Amino acid sequence: LLTEAIKIENEALSIHSINKYDFGIATSHMHIGTIYSNQEQYSLAIKHLEKSANIYESYLDKGYYYMNIASLINCYNGIGNYSRAIIIGESILDDIKKLNGENNPVYSTILNNLGISYFGIGNSDKFIQYSNKVLELHEKIFGEKHFMYAISLMNTAFMYGTHINVKTALEMNQKAIDIFRSNGMTENANYNLAIGNQVMFNISLKRYKESIIDIQSILPQIDNHSSLYAYYLNKLSVCYNGIDDFDNAIRYNAEALELYKKLYGKDNVNYIIALEQQTENLLLGGSEEQFIKNLIEESESEKMSNIQSTNEEYEAGYAYYVLYDQKNQVTETEVCDFEVHFTESFLSTIEESTD
């Protein structure tokens, strides 16, 4: 449907260009840019949104121009060009405030996007300042029980939980969850995102039992053939490992591994992360044979991918030693060859990372 929408907008763009109808040209570019942005194809979105912004800027009514800039800031954040996002956002913030006041959606959207930009460059003070302002405005505009206010809480909580204060993030996010529930939105995508935040925060605080309850509450709502389903299975494994229930930790992670393998293959980063988790699970609660097999598979998958693991050589070596010493499945010569390779690799890594 999105591809068809882009096709229709391109046809409209051609007609507007033939007729030299600038407003129509700008609107088509903005629509196409918005579609690409929703697909997270930010570079393509920027190409169209820059064109529409250049046209809209010439009009006396700046409403469309400001909406366009809000989208552009989001896209520049999406590609990690936070400095550019800050420049174009800050350049119009005062103008919007003078023209329409603070209590309008465009102003709060730009403030929110700029907060993310400042977070991206490591300016936590500015992020907190802008995010708190957005929360204040949304509470004033929508009320503290409105789902839009809950979304703002959830987004701010995510940023807080990533680098600032997990406990504060947990409180904010729980408030968002409560608002979603009071609005009957427990099957909404934003509610699932908020639960995902809560799981992440609780795991970081080692509140594994709470996370297990949260994950099991939303798993039935998620497509069991999706990467998101595999992600939550892996997080369930982490939680069960945290409470020393290794049978469940191994079982859920095995399901996650199988699903990741079907979706992406063995050289995918998600598959490898799950393999690493399974190595820990099996070390603590599995058989020696399973543990060795998983170690070798983990090493092989890392070699297949472009991921450089600091543990890769160690993992392979450990498995070889165990196999040689206890199973006689690897020769002494292979172990010695490995020792030489590992030592050279390890010393090279030290030399590169020493200041």
> Of 277, 274, 278, nearest to 264 (Cα)?
274
What CA dihedral angle connects 77, 83, 88 and 90, to 10 degrees?
100
8 Å CB contact between 183 and 189: no
For 59, which DSSP code? S
Q: How many CA atoms lie within 13 A of 346 on its CB side?
A: 12
The fraction of the chain above a pLDDT of 70, given in percent, is 85
- Mean pLDDT score, 295-324: 57
Q: Report angle CA 312, 318, 324 to the nearest 5 degrees.
A: 135
Helix axes 189-204, 166-182, angle to 10 degrees: 150
- Using one digit for the tens of pLDDT, what is the confidence trace for 29-82? 999 999 998 888 889 999 999 999 999 998 878 888 999 999 999 999 989 899
- Mean pLDDT score, 255-264: 91
- Mean pLDDT score, 288-313: 70
8 Å CB contact between 64 and 26: yes
Which of 153-157, 210-214, 222-226, 343-347 has the highest average model confidence (pLDDT)? 210-214
Encoded tokens for 251: 């079982």
Q: Can you list the alpha helix ranges (DSSP code H) found in the chain?
A: 2-18, 22-38, 42-56, 63-78, 82-100, 105-120, 124-142, 147-159, 166-182, 189-204, 208-218, 227-242, 246-264, 269-285, 288-304, 312-322, 332-353
Among 51-65, 307-321, 335-349, the least confident range: 307-321
More reliable by pLDDT, 349 or 279: 279
The fraction of the chain above a pLDDT of 90, given in percent, is 43
So what's the pLDDT on residue 325?
Answer: 45
Among 111-115, 300-304, 315-319, the least confident range: 315-319
The residue with tokens 């044979």 is 289
Among 84-88, 123-127, 246-250, 307-311, the least confident range: 307-311
> Of 270, 191, 268, nearest to 235 (Cα)?
270
pLDDT higher than 80, residue 326: no
Q: What is the mean pLDDT of the chain?
A: 83
- Using one digit for the tens of pLDDT, what is the confidence trace for 90-117? 999 999 888 888 888 889 889 989 998 9
- Mean pLDDT score, 195-221: 91
> Of 188, 151, 204, 143, nearest to 173 (Cα)?
151
The residue with tokens 């509140």 is 207
Written as one letter, the residue type at 341 is H
Name the pLDDT band for 341 (thresholds 50, 70, 90). low
- Using one digit for the tens of pLDDT, what is the confidence trace for 147-169? 989 988 998 898 888 777 899 99
